[in-house]
Structure 1
Amino acid sequence: MARLILVEKSRSGEGIVSKERRENNFQGIHWQIIQHSYKWRPPTDVYETENEVVVRVEIAGMNGNDFAITLDGQLLIIRGIRKDDAEKRAYQQMEINFGFFIIQVNLPCLILSEQIVAEYQEGFLKVILPKAEPQRIWIDQ
């Protein structure tokens, strides 16, 4: 089942997730960022169609509350924490990253921020960003 995720828009005030809601979604994030100062970047694909830019992140083992997605102009920022269980182990091989991650994507065009859709399904976060049409500005004479 797809899980929809709120996208925060940082400049105009429209569509901003409240600070209280953000803090509730990331309970204990400040402590965990200190604990996991090593930041990693999940595998990310960015592709463009005629009408949209799509960002697809491979990030299994999470849920919608583990992400914060922000659009700041033409910069898309995805932050999150993938938690590991606290059990101590003696690893023979360790390739799975846990902890705080951040992804920054410079978008190639203007985006219709009110129409952004984000969903998390089967270990993939998919953010669909509809392109804005360039607008001609007429000069009064």
Structure 2
Amino acid sequence: MTMPVRRPRGGAVQDRPLGWARDPLTQFDQLLGEMSGLIESTVGGVAPAIAWTPLADVTESDDAFHVEIELPGVKSKDIDVEANGQELVVTGEIKEKERKGVLRRSTRRTGAFEYRLRLPGEVDTEKINAQMSDGVLAITVPKAEVAKPRHIEISETSESTESSG
């Protein structure tokens, strides 16, 4: 006995291949959240911390590297910035807010985060500057003196001094 096949009507949305309008990163985050909830309900207590990476921009000027990391709602006291050689590591945690009532939906990231960056040149770790403003952590990492580009002047010599020497 064969079962009837149900075919969708209309079709603007169905004409696209399956998954075309989906965001795989969002689905992956949802899957991780569901897995964490499953582990928490099974084992009890707090689920193991899975660090996520915040969004960031890295630019380079002649004398420094500039890193801007989006951390909305995070206080500067909850962020740790470390530099070791050419590696910059920003870690911290966004704490879950206490709410009254039932949370119906949440798409905000919470928990531990980590941003790692290996810079392509030598840097001066003693002069690194970090500032937090409007939910964006701006870090300036100055280049070391040896890594800075240097313009070399070319001097002219006369041919008579070269042949006599």
Which runs of structure 2 are paired with 1:91-130 in the superposition (5 Å)? Answer: 91-92=104-105, 94-130=106-142
TM-score by length of 2: 0.57
**1:58: which partner in 2?**
70
1:51-83 alpha-carbon deviations (Å, 9 max, x no partner): 100111011101110111110111100000111
**2:57: which partner in 1?**
45
How many Å apart are 1:102 and its aligned residue?
0.5
Sequence identity (%) = 27
Deviation above 2 Å: which 4+ runs of structure 1? 86-92
How many Å apart are 1:90 and its aligned residue?
3.1
**DSSP 3-state at the match of 2:74:** coil
Which runs of structure 2 are paired with 1:1-141 in the superposition (5 Å)? Answer: 35=47, 37-87=49-99, 89-92=102-105, 94-134=106-146
Aligned residues: 101
The higher radius of gyration belongs to 2
**2:12: which partner in 1?**
none
Higher mean alpha-carbon deviation, 114-123 vs 79-88, is at 79-88
TM-score by length of 1: 0.66
> Which one has a larger percent helix, Structure 1 or Structure 2?
2
**DSSP 3-state at the match of 1:134:** helix
> Which one has a larger percent strand, Structure 1 or Structure 2?
1
Distance 1:86 1:36, change over 3 A: farther
How many Å apart are 1:96 and its aligned residue?
1.2
**DSSP 3-state at the match of 1:96:** coil
Q: Distance in 1 between matches of 2:124 and 2:84?
A: 12
In 1, are the aligned partners of 2:84 and 2:125 still within 8 Å (CA)? no
How many Å apart are 1:36 and its aligned residue?
5.5
